[in-house]
């Protein structure tokens, strides 16, 4: 038999990569993936899906862009839709290459995608308040001239926003080095600050990423990138023509047009529950809880690994973050009942 040497044809950067694994322990209370806890049935959004599946979808997803355009007052020329914002991060790195600069800990896909595309990653540690280490970050921009800078604000997994002044300074310095700054606002709907959409008109090197995933439609896979048509035209060269399927375009359009007041109600509920959860956590001995502007909370506790396992045994899944923030767990805000159960179980584990 002929031997087939698979290893010999795998690119070196892929060999070093471990697949993004979402460890799925089936639990009755799922607070690990920053999803919305409120079930959304298709029938709440559309009665009948009026599309013909024999045809390819609209390659430009124009109706969906129009819906986003109307709701967020953004010109359709300044929007690109992705199969989740993950896909858009991939397209950005494919288009502009490296180095790619981002603070850590942060959303892991920036690093994973840079590695799969085979471009250099530059990581800058956040300070003790999980804010950007301004001096180091700016020095890195000046010295390394990154093509792309990713800033998740609010940041996953820490939950805080970065200082807006620091971000503005970074954008201003980045523009001189021809670096693009991507502000990933996946959690903006839960945040009390205004975000960076209003600054798009001031900076040609600024891009904003948003997604429907964290506000109740994770199953659909819709993210969108907002920026100048010049940049989007370049990114458009690597975008696969039918990256957003017809069903998704149709449902997401209707969700934004007709279901958004419900989504806003869910968001308000999650913010309210987040404040309650924060207070409850801060009253548990042995826990340090961090402030959050997102739909999850990061907390530190000795023996976090053991707590994680005990929570799973009790049917509650949270995310073990200990590999990036020592002794830490990240809990997504669930329904009132789920949060109550989580707090009760956690208290039992720690104090019981």
Ligand X SMILES: *Cc1c(COP(=O)(O)O)cnc(C)c1O
State the residues that interact with ligand X by CB under 6 A.
Answer: 34, 84-86, 107, 152, 156, 184, 186, 211, 213, 223
Of 107 and 314, which CB lies nearer to ligand X in the complex structure? 107
In the complex with ligand X, which residue's Cβ is closer, 85 or 339? 85
Q: Give me the least distance between CB of 83 and ligand X, in Å please.
A: 8
The least CB distance from residue 306 to ligand X, in Å, is: 26
Residue number with CB closer to ligand X (10 or 240): 240
Nearer to ligand X, 57 or 159 (CB): 159
**Count, residues in the chain:** 352
Taking the least distance from each CB to ligand X, the nearer of 253 and 345 is 253
| CA-angle at 298, arms to 199 and 156, nearest 5° | 35
Query: Smallest gap, in angstroms, from Cβ of residue 211 to ligand X?
Result: 3
Secondary structure of 168-190 in the HEC alphabet? HHHHHHHHHCCCEEEEECCCHHH
Q: How far is the CB of 343 from ligand X (least distance, A)?
A: 23
Reading the block at residue 325, the tokens are: 């923030």
Closest residue to ligand X, Cβ-based? 84
Give the nearest distance from C-beta 222 to ligand X in angstroms: 7
Rg (CA), the chain: 21
The token pair that represents 75 in the structure block: 């010109």
Cβ closest to ligand X, residue 96 vs residue 107: 107
Nearest to ligand X of 218, 343 (CB atom): 218
**How far apart are CB 4 and ligand X at their closest, in Å?**
34
Min CB(81)–ligand X separation in Å: 11
Identify which of residues 105 and 314 has a Cβ nearer to ligand X in the complex.
105
Pick 217 or 349: Cβ nearer ligand X: 217
User: Least distance in Å: CB of 87 to ligand X?
Assistant: 7
Alpha-carbon span 208 to 194, nearest angstrom: 13
Instruction: Kindly state the smallest distance separating residue 206's Cβ from ligand X, in Å.
Output: 17
């Amino acid at each position: 038999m002929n031997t087939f040497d698979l290893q010999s044809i795998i690119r070196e950067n892929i060999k070093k990569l471990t697949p993004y694994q979402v460890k799925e322990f089936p639990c009755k209370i799922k607070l690990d993936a920053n999803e919305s806890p409120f079930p959304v049935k298709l029938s709440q959004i559309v009665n009948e899906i009026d599309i013909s599946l024999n045809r390819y979808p609209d390659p430009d997803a124009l109706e969906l862009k129009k819906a986003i355009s109307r709701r967020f007052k953004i010109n359709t020329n300044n929007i690109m839709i992705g199969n989740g914002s993950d896909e858009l991060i991939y397209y950005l790195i494919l288009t502009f290459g490296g180095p790619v600069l981002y603070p850590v800990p942060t959303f892991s896909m920036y690093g994973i995608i840079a590695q799969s595309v085979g471009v250099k990653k530059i990581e800058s540690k956040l300070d003790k308040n999980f804010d950007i280490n301004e001096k180091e970050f700016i020095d890195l921009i000046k010295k390394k001239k990154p093509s792309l800078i990713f800033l998740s604000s609010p940041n996953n997994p820490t939950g805080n926003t970065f200082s807006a002044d620091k971000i503005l300074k970074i954008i201003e310095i980045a523009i001189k080095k021809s670096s693009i700054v991507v502000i990933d606002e996946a959690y903006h709907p839960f945040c009390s600050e205004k975000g960076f959409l209003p600054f798009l008109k001031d900076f040609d090197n600024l891009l904003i990423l948003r997604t429907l995933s964290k506000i109740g439609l994770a199953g659909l896979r819709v993210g969108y990138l907002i920026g100048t048509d010049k940049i989007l035209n370049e990114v458009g060269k690597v975008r696969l023509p039918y990256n957003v399927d017809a069903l998704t375009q149709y449902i997401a359009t209707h969700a934004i047009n007709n279901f958004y007041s419900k989504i806003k109600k869910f968001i308000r509920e999650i913010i309210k529950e987040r404040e309650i959860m924060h207070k409850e956590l801060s009253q548990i001995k042995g826990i340090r809880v961090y402030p959050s502007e997102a739909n999850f909370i990061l907390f530190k506790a000795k023996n976090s690994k053991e707590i994680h396992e005990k929570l799973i045994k009790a049917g509650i899944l949270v995310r073990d973050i200990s590999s990036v923030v020592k002794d830490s767990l990240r809990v997504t805000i669930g329904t009132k009942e789920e949060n109550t159960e989580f707090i009760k179980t956690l208290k039992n584990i720690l104090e019981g």
